[in-house]
Amino acid sequence: MLKNLRHEIFLFLGALFFAFNGVPSKLIMETGLLSATRLTEIRTIGAFITMLAFVVIRNRKSLAAKKSDIPWLIAFGLVGFAAVNLFYFLSIQRLHVSIALIIEFTSPIWISLYLKFIAKKHVSPLMWWGLAVGFSGLVLLAQVWKGTTLDTLGVIYALIDAFAMTGYFLLGERMLKIRDRPSLMVWGLGVSSIFFLIIQPIWNYPTAIFSSHVGLTGRFAGHVFTGWFLILWVILLGTVVPYAFVLSGLHGLSASTSSVIGMLEPIFAGIFAWIIIQERLSTWQLIGGAIILVGIYLADRAKADI
């Protein structure tokens, strides 16, 4: 029980850091100096260099991989790191963030369907109830009725992102059985970095962002951060730390349970937006957040029903 609680706390912290990362990321992109894909590129490369240095100092031998594992590691990097980030940013450029999040967080449903009908594994009825309740809460939290015009390409991007997140949890669960978490992160971030370097050569990088001054909005208007500080935050506290927490949680829990706990991210994002940039939460959003917590509780209880 205590072991499960520890892994649940890891996932809780991962969702917390991922949610807060939206604040500095939004501030950076609002400068107009850095596109979403360029931000993803520097985020991935910076996190890769950080984790590589850590693992080389701590246990460089752990980076070795069997020939049979390399295709899985490449798939994990392309799907779990490159695709998840890229298609999320592409989707929110064409859709309301609320709609994009709703589609993205259908990943627990796809995971459970995969386990039930393809992997032929038992899925507890409580898990289905948890998914239904949690998804209903997401609909309320995102207030989807406020954005009714859907861009077809945006929906496609968001669906691809949901499938990529599904792959991230399933591949992560598989790879953590044969590799330690730090080396798996190095491989995932390394593959993603190579991908972005190919589609966006580094010599064309808009370096003006590093010396720019970015002003905060809302409650903290008047405070200014340098671009390099915000990017460093995105790399370390918005990528390295939350990915480490999520993989640590996934190491002890199933992919389905881990992905449902990930539904906490929109709740935290709404809270941070309210505190920092003074985006008010409506009554329906507060009710939606409470319903998501009920869904997560049901999904968590499903472990005992397997």
**pLDDT exceeds 90 at position 85:** no
Please give the full DSSP string across 186-250, using - where no structure is assigned. Answer: HHHHHHHHHHHHHHS-GGG--THHHH-EEE--GGGTT-EEEHHHHHHHHHIIIIIHHHHHHHHHH
For the whole model, what pTM was predicted?
0.87
pLDDT digits (tens, 9 = 90+) for 133-190: 988 888 887 776 665 556 778 888 988 999 999 999 999 999 999 999 999 999 999 9
First to last CA, the chain: 15
Q: Which of the four pLDDT bands, split at 50, 70 and 90, describes residue 97?
A: low
Domain residues for the domain of 87 are 2-305
Q: Which of the four pLDDT bands, split at 50, 70 and 90, describes residue 306?
A: very low
Question: Can you name the residues that pair with 214 across neighbouring β-strands?
Answer: 225
Instruction: Give the per-residue pLDDT at 221.
Output: 77
Residue pair 247/188 in contact by the 8 Å Cβ criterion: no
pLDDT higher at 98 or 12: 12
The backbone torsions φ and ψ at residue 226, rounded to the nearest 5 degrees and listed phi first, read -80, 155
Number of domains the chain contains: 1
Question: CB neighbours of 152 closer than 8 A, spacing ≥ 6?
Answer: none
CA 206 vs CA 32, 44, 212, 230: distances in Å: 11, 16, 11, 15
pLDDT digits (tens, 9 = 90+) for 21-68: 888 888 888 888 988 889 999 999 999 999 999 999 999 999 999 999
Instruction: Give the per-residue pLDDT at 66.
Output: 92
Residue pair 181/63 in contact by the 8 Å Cβ criterion: no
Taking every pair of C-alpha atoms in the chain, what is the biggest distance, in angstroms?
Answer: 56
Residue pair 263/296 in contact by the 8 Å Cβ criterion: yes
